Structure 1
Amino acid sequence: MQWGEARKHLTTYKGQTSYYTINEEVFKPNGFEIISASEPVPLLKSTKPKTCDQIFSSWLDIALKYNPPSSPPESIPLELIPEFTMNGHAVLTKGYHNDMAKPMPKTWNQIPAWLNLDPLTLSSYGVGGISVLHSIKYMNVTGMNGIVIGSVDPWVEVIALQSGANSLLTVEYQSTTILGESRVKWIHPYEYAKNWKEQKQFDFAVSFSSIEHSGLQRYGDPRDPIGDIREVQKVWCMLKKGGIFFLGLPRGQDQLVYNAHRIYGRIRLAMIFYG
């Protein structure tokens, strides 16, 4: 091991665990390997680098083979629990939601009115939502074209437009009709993945309270233990070189609240940060 003198243990659901064990039980099975026991999360390299073609093709293959049930499953098949919990290093708890996409499209007609509101009032996520505002302001997206990954209401889109963004593309499972604002467009994730080469690359991407759900079937998406990691990999392919990724995730001890969301600790974050 050539990881320097950094701390070689961290606390997981199994207790104090060596970086070596986490490397063998979590990172290597998922195509990563520790190259530095850095703080606050270990620095990884990919042992199985993929092209953007491979990233979108593998995701689309899983998605198109999936036949969603009438409602999301309430539990994980026993044989898949090790994959979903990083071989038991993440806590598994219950928190069931059924938020499958509705057959009728939703309509966003509120954007023109929201553009006149104080951006601090737009989000229902409290301090987390305010952090999105300040991050976008700080990085200055004026004149930039952005993509939003997952969006129930267009508060992120409005904040970006208020901050000077030129245009937004929203990638969302629920069919969405946008009225009164030509700078915001909608596309289904499947359509984007099929035609990703025809899409322009973006200056910035925003995902808040979205990627942590990926692969948990809450929204009718395919079951996938690494669905969140695949989403991050796709985002890097969507961005121009040097593009900005604004990512909001719940933090804490590594945990899977099935099927609601994941909570990100030092193990899962290391894989997310690599993408």
Structure 2
Amino acid sequence: MPTVCCDAWFIMWLYQGMPVVAVLPQAAICQQQPNLLIFSCLVSALANAPGFGRAMRRSMFFHILSLCLSIGCMHSRPIDDISTWTQYGESVCWVAADWEDCCAPKYGSTGNPECWIAFPLSYEKCCLERWKVCDAIAEFRERTPATSSLSSSWLIFYESCGRGQELLNLLQRLWSAVGFLCTSSASMNSIEHGANEACSEKEIMEQTRDIRQELNTQRSALDTKDWLDVLDAVQLPHINELNLELTDVVKEWSPQSFAQILPETDFSIVNLREKLHVFRDHLEQFRDSTLNAIYMHDSWLSKRRAGCGEICNIDGTDAEQNTGPLRKRVNCNALLNSMVANHTESVPVIPPPSIPSSMMPAFTMNGQVAVLSHSTIRQALGYAGGVFPAPEQAEANWMWSREAIEKLIAQAREYKLTPGPHSLERVKTLTDVLAGLPEMVGQHWIVWGDQKHFEWWKPWMESLLLSFGVGTVSSMVPIPSRYDVSSPHSPHPQLRPITMQKAVQNAPFHGVVLMGVASAGVGRHGDNLNPNEDLQQAAAAWCLLQSGGILIAPTMTDTDLLRWPLGRVYGPKRWPHLVANFELLRIYDGVAAVLRKP
């Protein structure tokens, strides 16, 4: 399809003031739904024509979005197999309407039904997302052994922020209930501007008794200056055992500071709305201050930047203006030693509900990379509520035994290898990538995968390489012993799970495949946060490769994007830094880029 047509579609979506323009250029609409695209371009042209008012545009947008959702063109892309929210976030809710049109209290506890035109749009996923600051604590949550070993600082964070979120949820319910009650015969607009409410104080008290009683109970429980007096859900240490920065934060943002915001006598819709926004802002500031204190402790970022040098310098170079590859000096010894130390110390952590504000400039390249987030993303990954997901058990066909790997190699040769229900075409493209390389027989390659602490690493890329005659494939995983093969089975002699330290010892390699670089450092798989982990991995691959060695990496798209905490989409801002010093050989169908170390 012509580029101008795609541009028209994205202009139409941006017209309503939504940041979806940063998300949709890679959507399936332009790639897989040409008929819908043509239709959308027509509507876009009409919508920008003179005489079309907001109501007409909104009606057309609703029809397009409904069609798009119903035929599945905005559901998950093959690479992730998770819901629309992990791909587009909350922004998909507001392409045809704004929050007040869908979520104002006058519509009740389910919102405006006209807004929920197709799955998965809903009141909970769209309206309530505005008030989700932290992970609420489940009443009967079960903690895994790994979660029980969380540090005191993380326990304090998840318990206190979760308690604040439960209060925010309660306050929102009260505001919504009073708003619906008091707008049955008066417009929300008139009430918000000071007109008399359409219900009496007595009526409010009667209809909201249960919510108010619960709110009063919570307020009483918060009437203390020490969080340790409030958080009785788990065994917590004395506050003196916390690091100094966090101690100052929990003292400054005491439970009492939250209790003082909650309404005591004035339950008018105007006052509740004000209290709701103030409480949300207070909780956001508490969350951000607590996260910053945790990550400032023990020089978190400086340890992970050690040896990074020019690799982590993404401020002084306009990558888009360069006609050739970026050139950066790399101190391989310093970089590799630092990464070995960081990977050796790595233990599973739960990604926080938002990017720590102290790390935001580094993660977004000082605002150049758009961030997409939704609470459902963390739920889909298994981290909601401050708990770890249960470790995944390996299926028999994905074991690392000789028998299982030989079967995978045979599937690869028959173009039948697929790690997931939607990944066959992607694997076929990667097969074409390898087929286009020079002879690989007897070579030693390394697959740098996701740092999966809970999911099982399926060795499909390793098997694909072996099907082309590669002599040895080393697969870098966080816990190699997890993939040991026990009797009566035997390990495959050409496949080795290794650590970062072992990779350094075995270098140089003929080729490196960066399988997990897009999610590196964002916490998706329980790995530590590091805004520059992806750039460091690519630079480390350069150090591990022999001269003329091949790198297979993600390709560049039209737009830079960070889905928190799912991973990155590389665009013209970050991708040139990712592949600095490499020579680009070829790009395959938006799936992979093949590069060479000069």
Query: Could you say which TM-score interval applies, normalised by the shorter chain?
Result: 0.7 to 0.9
Query: Mapping of 1:115-264 within 5 angstroms?
Result: 115-119=409-413, 120-123=415-418, 124=420, 125-139=423-437, 140-150=439-449, 152-174=457-479, 175-178=482-485, 179-189=490-500, 191-192=501-502, 196=504, 198-208=505-515, 210-249=516-555, 251-264=557-570
Shift of 1:273: 1.4
Shift of 1:207: 2.3
Higher relative contact order (CA 8 A, sep 6+): 1
1:252 and 1:235 map into 2 onto residues whose CA distance is 25
Shift of 1:102: 7.3
Shift of 1:57: 2.3
2:472 and 2:495 map into 1 onto residues whose CA distance is 6
Aligned with 2:314 (options 10, 16, 30): 30
TM-aligned CA distance change 1:219 to 1:249, over 3 Å? farther
Comparing 154-163 and 94-103, the one that deviates more: 94-103
Does the alignment pair 1:74 with 2:353? yes
Shift of 1:105: 8.9
Q: Which residue number in structure 1 is paired with residue 367 of structure 2?
A: 88
One-letter code aligned to 2:579:
F
The TM-score with structure 2 as length reference comes to: 0.37
One-letter code aligned to 2:436:
Y
2:365 and 2:444 map into 1 onto residues whose CA distance is 36
Name the structure where helix makes up a greater proportion of residues: 2
Q: Secondary structure at the match of 1:192?
A: helix
Tell me the number of residue pairs that the alignment of Structure 1 and Structure 2 aligns.
Answer: 241
Q: Secondary structure at the match of 1:146?
A: strand
One-letter code aligned to 1:203:
H
Q: Which residue number in structure 2 is paired with residue 6 of structure 1?
A: none
Q: Which residue number in structure 2 is paired with residue 23 of structure 1?
A: none
Q: Secondary structure at the match of 1:117?
A: helix
* Cα distance per residue 1:156-189 (max 9 Å; x no partner): 1111111111110000124322544111011123
Query: 8 Å contact 1:147–1:168 — kept in the other structure?
Result: yes
Query: 8 Å contact 2:417–2:424 — kept in the other structure?
Result: no
Query: 8 Å contact 2:444–2:509 — kept in the other structure?
Result: yes
TM-aligned CA distance change 1:265 to 1:159, over 3 Å? same
TM-aligned CA distance change 1:221 to 1:35, over 3 Å? closer
Aligned-residue sequence identity (percent) comes to 21
Q: Secondary structure at the match of 2:447?
A: strand
Which residues of structure 2 form unaligned runs of 5+? 1-18, 22-310, 451-456, 582-598
Which residues of structure 1 form unaligned runs of 5+? 1-12, 16-26
Greater C-alpha radius of gyration: 2
Name the structure where strand makes up a greater proportion of residues: 1
Comparing 238-247 and 176-185, the one that deviates more: 176-185
2:365 and 2:347 map into 1 onto residues whose CA distance is 25
The TM-score with structure 1 as length reference comes to: 0.76
Comparing 264-273 and 178-187, the one that deviates more: 178-187
Q: Secondary structure at the match of 1:82?
A: helix
Query: 8 Å contact 2:557–2:572 — kept in the other structure?
Result: no
Q: Which residue number in structure 1 is paired with residue 52 of structure 2?
A: none
* Cα distance per residue 1:221-266 (max 9 Å; x no partner): 2211111000001111111111011123573410000111100001
Query: 8 Å contact 1:32–1:45 — kept in the other structure?
Result: no
Q: CA RMSD in A?
A: 3.0
